Amino acid sequence: MQRRDFLAAWGAAALAGCAPGAAPPLPPGELAGGDFELGHRLAGGDFPAPTETRHTGVLIIGAGVAGLSAAWRLQRAGFQDFAVLELEAQAGGNSRSGRNGISAYPQGAHYLPLPNPEARAVRALLADLGVLRGDPAAEAPGYDEVYLCHAPQERLYRQGLWQEGLVPHLHLAAGEQAQQARFFARMGEFKAARDERGRRLFALPSAYAGETRASRALDQLTMHDWMRAEGFDAPSLHWYVNYACRDDYGTDYRQVSAWAGIHYFACRTGRGGEGAGETVLTAPEGNGWIVQRLAGRLGPALHTGCAVHALRQGLTGISVQVWDRKQERSLEYQAGQVIWAAPLYLLPRLARELPTELAAAIAPLGYAPWLVATLSLTAPPEPGAGMPLAWDNVLYDSPGLGYVVATHQQLRRDSQAPTVLSYYRPLSDADPWAARVRLLSTSRETWAEEILADLSRAHRDIRRLTTRLDLFRHGHAMVRPLPGLRRRERLQRLAAGWGRVQLAHGDMGCLSLFEEANYWGVRAAENCLAAAGGGLRERLV
């Protein structure tokens, strides 16, 4: 075949493949997620006897934000006699991240709001990492601008237009903006509300929150029902509040407690110094930069691929049996104290002697499954009508929560260079058990088609630009804050722990938030330090 004949044949084939109406082929990718096989094996308990015994002063089980915060607090006090066990191959929990040839990107939590003054441990942590500048106790401390989210921060696609911010404000029916104004005025009242002891009703961490009869009543009904009772019926407002509940809790506002729904809007009071305002802290890898730096300090104290399958508490210590996936054998840890920083629902399955009342306090917890898609693009999608491409881009009435742009924080970046989008989808439209079954049984190709179809509503060029689409599945991503979970007696029983076992996880406050996990991890570490008899020169919680 002559060269010109070959080129003509190649051109005809290429044109045939790109004929009008013919969709580009589905981009390749990987279907990944947690170690579901090892996690499910824990339910069966089929593990061999330990072949080695190790000793440690404090054993931290779980290397998510709570476990890493506990380890950070021990190290801050100069205490080094501890080990950290993590079931997954990577530390970080919901703040894990990945990296490809284009950029780092989040596989879970992608930002941290500027912490409230009461979140002392978070502020101390950020100061230790060099991100918070000056006095951590200042009302509005300074922050490293590298981590402050660049503008434009948020936009919403609705009725064929992009608008600034996530609260719908274009082409609304009569009276909707007035309802929105009244709703946010009510949220402002809740933000300022205090109990008779002067505690904010919606503080964060929630352990500092005050309580009144009215605030307790909010935990007995759903956010949807509260809005109806308050006379809020504007469709745009109901969409936005439901988006907020799905975003922070992975759960529909028809199921989230009114207390948790209001907490989303009323809890945050953090501000930054000049140039920071009320933005958020983020990086290409989301919150991955935090957990990576904390995990990097642990060295040989961190053991990944380790599944705890039995825990027994004796008079002088705790025996913990662990399956080490890398070595394909069981180990036994003898620890003076344990910090349980894994999801609470696992503990009753592994600790046969757990007190009945503690198991009963854990039993009501349910968890929302999530799907995160990573789309690698040859160039950013066309901005479309209205606002330019932002860091966080949301589609109205979408099954997903939109996407964040991993390269948004890069300075001096070519606006047409390759980029990575992280698309978030909570499976909040079904019972969690059924949603988990769907999460694990649906093929990557099916998910990819759904995601591309959703995004193509706003970006007609999305499929052509996408060269790879990877999926990351979170089976038990976050606790669901349903009505009734914040009953005082139940929360007090969880906080009391179990003898030498300190409970430390965001589950403790029924809120899967960085500040919650950090608080409970630091609290557990400080309790262990106090029990060890060394004394505490400072208390962060």
- Work out the average pLDDT over 229-234: 98
Q: Which pLDDT does position 15 carry in this prediction?
A: 37
Over residues 163-180, mean pLDDT: 95
Give me the residues paired with residue 32 across strands. Answer: 472
Mean pLDDT for 208-222 is: 97
What is the identity of the amino acid at 404? Answer: V
Which whole-number Å values give the CA distances from 84 to 261, 322, 470, 493, 527, in the listed order?
34, 12, 29, 25, 17
pLDDT at 13: 35
If you search the block for the tokens 């099916």, which residue do you land on?
Answer: 446
pLDDT band at 526 (very low <50, low <70, confident <90, very high): very high
DSSP character string of 89-152: SSS-GGG-EEE-SS-EEESS---EEPPPTT-HHHHHHHHHTT-EES-TTSSS-EE-TTTBPPSP
Q: Please tell me whether residue 235 adopts helix, strand or coil conformation.
A: helix
* Cis peptide upstream of residue 205 (ω within 30 degrees of 0): yes
pLDDT at 41 over 80: no
Q: Which residue shows structure tokens 């999801």?
A: 343
Residue predicted with more confidence, 30 or 40: 30
Q: Does domain 36-89+305-364+481-531 have CATH number 3.50.50.60?
A: yes
pLDDT value of residue 446: 98
Q: Which pLDDT does position 74 carry in this prediction?
A: 97
9, pLDDT greater than 50: no
Q: Per-residue pLDDT averaged across 114-121, rounded?
A: 96
Is the pLDDT at 14 greater than 50, yes or no?
no
Q: Cα 272–516–352 angle (5° rounding)?
A: 165
Q: For position 20, what pLDDT does the model report?
A: 52
Q: What is the pLDDT of residue 36?
A: 76
Q: Of 44 and 417, which is predicted with more confidence? A: 417
Q: Report the range of poorest mean pLDDT among 117-126, 146-155, 268-277, 328-337.
A: 268-277
pLDDT digits 0-9 by tens, 258-294: 999 999 999 999 999 866 667 899 999 999 999 999 9
Tens digit of pLDDT for each residue in 464-518? 999 999 999 999 999 999 999 999 999 999 999 999 999 999 999 999 999 999 9
The pLDDT value recorded for residue 1 is 37
Q: Where are the domains of the chain?
A: 36-89+305-364+481-531, 112-148+154-278
